[in-house]
Each structure stands twice: as C-alpha cells, then as structure tokens.
Amino acid sequence: MCGIVGIVAKSYVNQTIFDALTVLQHRGQDAAGMVTCEGNRFFLRKDNGLVNEVFRTRHMKKLNGNMGIGHVRYPTAGSSSSAEAQPFYVNSPYGIALAHNGNLTNADQLADEIFRSDLRHINTTSDSEVLLNIFAHELQQIGKLQPSADDIFQAVEKVHSRCQGGYAVVAIITGYGIVAFRDPCGIRPVVYGKRVNEQGEEEYMVASESVALDTAGFEMVRDLIPGEAIFIDIEGKVSTRQCAATSKVAPCLFEYVYLARPDSIIDGVSVHHSRMEMGVKLADKVRRVMPEHDIDVIIPIPDTSRTAALEMANSLGVTFREGFIKNRYIGRTFIMPGQTQRKKSVRQKLNPIQAEFRDKVVMLVDDSIVRGTTSKQIVQMAREAGARKVYFASAAPEVRFPNVYGIDMPSATELIAHGRTADEVGEYIGCDWMMYQDLQDLKDSVSAFNPEITEFDTCVFDGQYVTGTVDQAYLARVDAKRNDDAKQADPSDAEDGNESADLHNKID
C-alpha cells in the first residue's frame, strides 16, 4: 500500500503536493518523493523518511513548476534503501516520471522481457520501475515527436495487456501533462477532482484517496473506473478513456477494513460509514451466537477499530469505553524482521487504563488479526488490568492467505488464522471467546452504500485472487520472501521498494 498524487495547476504545485502527501502519510511511512515540471525540465526530490523529513525548505525551493506528482511508500520484500524511493524516471521518450501503488504479479517475467526484447535496463528490485519502463517502451513504439492524448491512451492499453496484478499509477510526461490509470479490476483506488483558483482557472488533482482532494480545496469529480486512464495536459484539458479490453469492479475489501482513512470515499462508499456498519454486523453476530451475553464494556484497540467498536456498543446497548492509550511516537513494528522485536514494542505502544478493566467482562474489538502477536499481548494486558473475562472481536474475517496486490502480509504460515479455527485462535491469544466478522457481512457493510459493487478482492480472507493470474508457484515465491526466517537471514533485505505493510502502524 502506497499513496500517489498528481496535480496540474496554474501556479507552483510543490506545496500542494507536500500537503497532499502529508494527508496520505498513513499509506506509506518508509519513503517519500516528488517530481515537478517547469518547461522541459524535471525537478526531483526523494528519500527515505516521513514527508516532513524528506522535504525541507531548501528542497521545496528547488521544486519548480505548475505540475507534478508525489508518492509515499511502504516497502515489501527486497531493499529499503533510498534507491527504491519513488517516483522513478526515464529520459526516453520525452522524459517520464512515474509513481505506483500496488504490485505486479508478473514483474519477474516483465523484467526479463524488458531486458531481452525492449532493450531497457532495470536498476532496482521495484516493480514500479518495471511498470515505468513498460509504459515508456509502449509510448516510444508509437514514434511521435509530440504525443497526443490518444497516443498516451494507446500506450496504457498496452500496459494493461502486459501487466498483471493490482496497480494505481500516476505519471508525468515532460512538457505535456499528467496521466493516471487504474488496474482492470480496480483493486487499488484512484480518484480525481478539480478546483477553480482565484483567477477563475480550473486546476486538477488525482490521488489515492479523496481526503487528499478535500484538504487541498479540490472538489471530487469521481473515482477512475477499473481499467480507465485520465490525461490532463499542461493547459488543464482533461481526457479520459477505458483502456482495458475487459474490466470489472472488484476493489480491495481491506481498504475499507483499515487501509484507507475513515474520512475518504472510495468507489462511492464512505469508509467511515462502512466501518460503522461493520460494528452493527458484529453486534448482530453477538446476538445470534451469544444472545445471553454478559459483556460489561466494549473497548477498541486503537485506532482503526474505534468506529466499529462504538457502533457495536450502541447496537448492543453496552457501555463503550476507551481502555488503551496509544503512544504515537513509537516506530512501526508490523514489518520488524523478527517476533522478538515486535513483542518488545507492544507494551511501549499501548498502555491500559486499569479502571476500565477491573472486575469487568470486556469485549476487545480490533479491525483484524494478522500474526496474533499483538492480540495475545493485549489480552494479557487486559487480564493484568483486572478484567474478569476477556472476549475478542475482529471487524474482519480470519486473515488466512497472503495479499499479492500491494499489501505485504506475512508468509501464510505466520498468519495466526492460517489452518486454525476461530476457537483455536482464541485459545492461542488467551481470550475467553473469539469472534470474527463473517465475510458476507463484511462485503454487505460496504456494498450497502454502493449496490453496484458486487465483487471484491477478498484474497486475504478466502484465497481467491480476482485477477485469476496467481498460481501456487507464485505464492511459494512470495512466501519465501516474506517469512521471518528469510528476513532474519538478511535484515537489510527484509522489506522493500514498492508497497505496504505497516498498515496504519498496526503492531501485529
């Protein structure tokens, strides 16, 4: 999971891109980058770190131009060196810089094709650089000195025909404009919007989430539909086209569970409202399976589960309380190379308010359970704080399979629910009762707000990969890269260069 943004305006865009990346910081805290364009020249700044660490005043002063793109990155398997930070750049044709959110499942094959057939060199392990070179090659094959919108859309069509996986892309072509496109299943989100400046001129932005538009004063126009591309030229003329031969709406269900900010709207669905509905569905399940429940208090595990927990409490008529205080200044632990480091960080990050637990039957609510490491320690913390019983509810179903579309889930064998029942997970984490959201209920929590969404990417829950291009051989390679043994063997290679994983500072 990463965040992307692109802007075409009538004045310098560096500050607006900086602000948008700050708002999208939850989608990537490993590295940040920005490319702006003035005339026929690019200006680039990227490095490891948070947005406000990468872009200092001295850098911002050099990022000239009325159009530009930006990126915040989480890493996956490979290298976390600054060489993997985006955007990436090629000088032929025209000069193109590109940033990407997602993952290409046929990146190895494409990298070989690029070398042998396209005669291009890939300098990193990032599939974003692969995608950039595919796009650049296809645009170069058209062979025009000055590309039109039709030419650019033709190149995007070729990208869709060659690339497999989930991807949301924004690219800038020197002196011409910005192009953005979305994979044919719409797994990763992209929206665009416009605003009118003080001179009455229209300016445009594309971004991963609508919240980036809101904070910059852009009015959301709509989501890009799966397989669609948008081209905004340097004068602000907008063109769109469906560039995929076949497409379907199948957004990533985990975006709504907790990847996206609650104040975003994705594919016409308010993330906040969908999470409220998840809480109602959890309450319904409690009434079905434990109608005579003895829950005294419902406590969320900060932060993403708060909305669902509150609605669950309201629906059940049970007291809602904040029981954990979160230290926001502790680094990420989800992608630490070994369990020892993860375990060490949990108690530094969360501390219970003992009065909310003492002598009570407590229902803890989290958005999901990945490894179970955090959940186990949190249950223990609740008991030490004096809870009489500890129940645990997950707003998402059991996470049993790896994600291959841009979320760096652990190896399947390290997922606590892989090969276990809910009761067995509950026994492992030490709670008195374990309850997961039903998958259909989770789907209904989203589609209730947009009935046109009838299919989702649910691969982490049911092992069904919507692109239809993922086989066991690929999953085996993913497993070999992501398991803790591989990461501990070479910690410098533990995480890399394109997409996600900490998932909002999740500490599982």
Percent of the chain with pLDDT over 70: 91
- Name the least confident of 271-275, 306-310, 339-343, 423-427: 339-343
Q: Given this model, what pLDDT does residue 125 score?
A: 87
Please answer whether residues 97 and 88 qualify as being in contact, where contact means their C-beta atoms are separated by less than 8 angstroms.
yes
Q: Given this model, what pLDDT does residue 480 score?
A: 84
CATH code of domain 266-327+347-469+475-487: 3.40.50.2020
Question: pTM higher than 0.85, yes or no?
Answer: yes
Q: Given this model, what pLDDT does residue 491 score?
A: 45
Q: Cα–Cα distances in Å, from 226 out to 35, 102, 206, 248?
A: 26, 14, 15, 6
Please answer whether residues 54 and 45 qualify as being in contact, where contact means their C-beta atoms are separated by less than 8 angstroms.
yes
Task: Give yes or no for residue 32 having a pLDDT over 90.
Answer: yes
Q: Given this model, what pLDDT does residue 343 score?
A: 57
For residues 145-156, give the mean pLDDT: 97
Radius of gyration of the chain, Cα coordinates, nearest whole angstrom:
23
The single residue of 2, 163, 243, 431 carrying the catalytic annotation is: 2
By CB atoms closer than 10 A (0-12, 13-18, 19+), residue 501 is: buried
163 a catalytic residue: no
Task: Give yes or no for residue 22 having a pLDDT over 60.
Answer: yes
Residues in the chain: 508
Q: Given this model, what pLDDT does residue 327 score?
A: 87
Task: Give yes or no for residue 498 having a pLDDT over 50.
Answer: no
CATH class of 3-248: alpha beta
Q: Is 366 annotated as a binding residue?
A: yes
Please answer whether residues 301 and 323 qualify as being in contact, where contact means their C-beta atoms are separated by less than 8 angstroms.
no
Residue intervals of the chain classified under CATH 3.60.20.10 are 3-248
Task: Give yes or no for residue 383 having a pLDDT over 60.
Answer: yes
Question: Tell me: the pLDDT tens digits for 214-254?
Answer: 999 999 999 999 999 999 999 999 999 999 999 999 999 99
Question: Tell me: the pLDDT tens digits for 35-72?
Answer: 999 999 999 999 999 999 999 999 999 999 999 999 99
Grade residue 486 by pLDDT with cuts at 50, 70 and 90. low
For residues 306-326, give the mean pLDDT: 97
Backbone angles phi, psi at 450, to 5 degrees: -155, 90
